[in-house]
Structure 1
Amino acid sequence: MQPSRLPPLNALRALASLAHTGRVGLAAEELGVTHAAVSHHLRNLEDWFGTALVRRVGRRIELTPEAERIAAAMQAALTRLGEVCGDVAEAARRTELSIACVPSFATRYLIPRLVDFTEVDPALRLRLLYALHGTPQDADISIDWYDAPPPADRFAVCIRLLSGHTRPVCSPAHLARYGPFDRSQQIVRARLLHDETRKDWRDWLIDNGLPLEQASEGPVFDDFNLLVSAVVAGHGVALCVETMIEAELGRGDLVPLTGTIGASRRGYWLTATDAPSPAARRFVDWLSAQMPDVGNLVQKGN
């Protein structure tokens, strides 16, 4: 309905109040206006509709059936409007916590567990942001991986959540067809798959005293989840973060090769530049409790 087809809303509200209270004086009191103002609203409505909406029975005023229909519709609309306004006001009062997280940790560790946190703090609004590795984030909390512990003096909060060491893995089908890969010298002849850059394989080959030429071969995947999909599909051998492929290892979709690991000092870290709010503290405490080898909290300020 177009606004021009509606009678004055204050007059409709006066009619709804009269229907609710049964008396002009009580309606005026409920609305915080004078007795005369309510009567004036009723006359305006009758002029607008071109028909009587109230009738006097002795000292009482009764609504006509048409007026009762209008009043019921107005009361229902006011009730619904009140509910919506209450929802909006409540949402505005709720605290929002922004978390920037690299996709590997977000999709494989954080998101599957977030439903538990919403039960711990149902009033908190979470905003999960896609974080680019090594890029400062405009967020309350950041989760990223580091090859060495980040400088704690840069952060108000700095927690090591999980190990980020890598291990050579491939699919059972790839192993059966191209293996064995029991020794590092055998892996160097495999088709190597790379996560974002070729650096991890280069470092692994150096650590194991092997030639670097093979690190120049094989495809590079711009996202860890894409890399894992390729390894599971049997495309080759990859250095995968072991803590991020627990599900694939448990199902037997991937098998570890040799006991050699890479990026031994790498870890996933939670950091916050500013002193944590109460909401951020609750999230940090909850996430820390989920971690099997969480490091110590470094916190400055209040």
Structure 2
Amino acid sequence: MPTRLPPLKALRAFDAAARHMSFARAAEEVGVTPAALSFQIKTLEEHLGQPLFRRLNRAVELTEAGRVLAPGTAEGFRSLQAAWRDAGRVGNNHTLTVTAGPAFTARWMAPRFYEFARAHPEIELRFSASLRPTDFERDAIDVAIRLRRGPDDQTYSVPLAFEWVTPVMLPEMAELYPTPESLTKAPLLVDDALDFVDPPCDWAAWFRAVGISHRPEGATHFSQSDHAVDATLAGAGVTLGRRSMVIKELHEGRLVAPYGIALKPPTHFRFICPKGNETRPAIAAFRDWILSEIDKTSAVSDTLTIIPSEDVPRDLPST
């Protein structure tokens, strides 16, 4: 049984052929002719001492030995590619790729990132607005900002700030609806982005938290939180604003939260990166900056009575 590894080029040819089940398509992927790829695989088979493919009339299929070899070869090349990419990043402190949800990127990141750029002109920031599950290796991502219930043992994870939701509106609209009871007559906007949260943090839950049984009907719904905020800023109505989406507008007085009651879902925004990478200068600088930016508006939260959503009754007693 051979113990010495065969040439890497031959293993690469086998990996491509095993994935495509076609020598022609594999040859195109690795940049050689089909004849050259066939020769590399034949060399590999001679090294192993048994065939890896059955050559059929118009196709190929793996032998038992090929089926055993294929998963390990594929994983080996994935690991090699990841290690090569990570090694290249070690000395690269000039580029930082950050992923966050589209609404968070638009509403929180975009208005602030110039402050980071001004403090760190040597770092080139790249944003990837996405909610897809983060794969740092596959997507070449350095940092992810994600809304999660708790830490992930597989990554370095730092809580940034817990979310809360509270009714927000233009100051002049607050004069029209001075009490929670009067809010039942207001044009309410619905942000559906937190629909996945359990217990719910929707309008019905907020009204129950202040002792009112009211479920808005005929309200306007938005799938993106930033769109709901844009509509609120345009005077279209009152939205149950998420902290991350409205904190800047509340801090600057463009929106107000007149009732002082907020609900807190069981989630935190977290700063996430692969373990060990948190000490990279660019990542550490970005983490420290984002924490300092959050602290600038912390006084807004101090003006609210924040009720965990778990403490909101599911139903109010009948009167």
Q: TM-score, normalised by structure 2?
A: 0.51
Matching of residue 225 in structure 1 with residue 226 in structure 2 = yes
Q: Structure 2, unaligned stretches of length 5 or more?
A: 1-90, 299-319
Map residues 109-120 of structure 1 onto 2, 5 A cutoff.
109-120=108-119
State the percentage of identical aligned residues: 24
Q: CA deviation at 1:239?
A: 0.8
1:291 is matched with 294
Matching of residue 107 in structure 1 with residue 109 in structure 2 = no
1:182 is matched with 179
Does the aligned pair in 1 maintain the 2:163–2:268 contact within 8 Å? yes
1: CA distance, partners of 2:151 / 2:93:
33
Deviations along 1:34-76, one digit per CA (max 9) or x if unpaired, are xxxxxxxxxxxxxxxxxxxxxxxxxxxxxxxxxxxxxxxxxxx
1:136 is matched with 134
Map residues 1-302 of structure 1 onto 2, 5 A cutoff.
95-132=94-131, 135-136=133-134, 138=139, 139-146=141-148, 149-155=149-155, 157-176=156-175, 179-183=176-180, 185-197=181-193, 199=200, 200-211=202-213, 213-214=215-216, 216-242=217-243, 244-263=245-264, 265-276=266-277, 278=280, 279-292=282-295
Match of 2:277, SS state, is coil
Q: CA deviation at 1:204?
A: 1.9
1:257–1:273 CA distance, 2 compared to 1 (3 A) = same
1:28 is matched with none
Q: TM-score, normalised by structure 1?
A: 0.54
Q: CA deviation at 1:246?
A: 3.9
1: CA distance, partners of 2:92 / 2:285:
18
Q: CA deviation at 1:230?
A: 1.0
Does the aligned pair in 2 maintain the 1:239–1:262 contact within 8 Å? no
1:99–1:250 CA distance, 2 compared to 1 (3 A) = closer
Q: CA deviation at 1:141?
A: 0.9
Q: CA deviation at 1:118?
A: 3.1
Deviations along 1:85-113, one digit per CA (max 9) or x if unpaired, are xxxxxxx9664321001234333433333
Does the aligned pair in 2 maintain the 1:165–1:263 contact within 8 Å? yes
Q: Structure 1, unaligned stretches of length 5 or more?
A: 1-91, 294-302
Deviations along 1:220-256, one digit per CA (max 9) or x if unpaired, are 1122221112112222221112454244335543221
1: CA distance, partners of 2:164 / 2:289:
24
Match of 1:98, SS state, is strand
1:51 is matched with none
1:203–1:158 CA distance, 2 compared to 1 (3 A) = farther
Q: CA deviation at 1:173?
A: 3.9
Q: Which AA in structure 1 matches 2:170? A: S
Does the aligned pair in 1 maintain the 2:174–2:258 contact within 8 Å? no
2: CA distance, partners of 1:263 / 1:291:
17
Does the aligned pair in 1 maintain the 2:99–2:143 contact within 8 Å? yes
Report which stretch shifted further, 222-231 or 278-287: 278-287
Q: CA deviation at 1:270?
A: 1.2
Number of residue-to-residue matches in the alignment: 194
2: CA distance, partners of 1:280 / 1:94:
8
1: CA distance, partners of 2:289 / 2:256:
32
Q: Which AA in structure 1 matches 2:179? A: D
1:123–1:171 CA distance, 2 compared to 1 (3 A) = closer
Q: Which has the higher contact order (CA 8 A, sep 6+)?
A: 1
Match of 1:281, SS state, is helix
Max Rg structure = 1
1: CA distance, partners of 2:123 / 2:215:
51
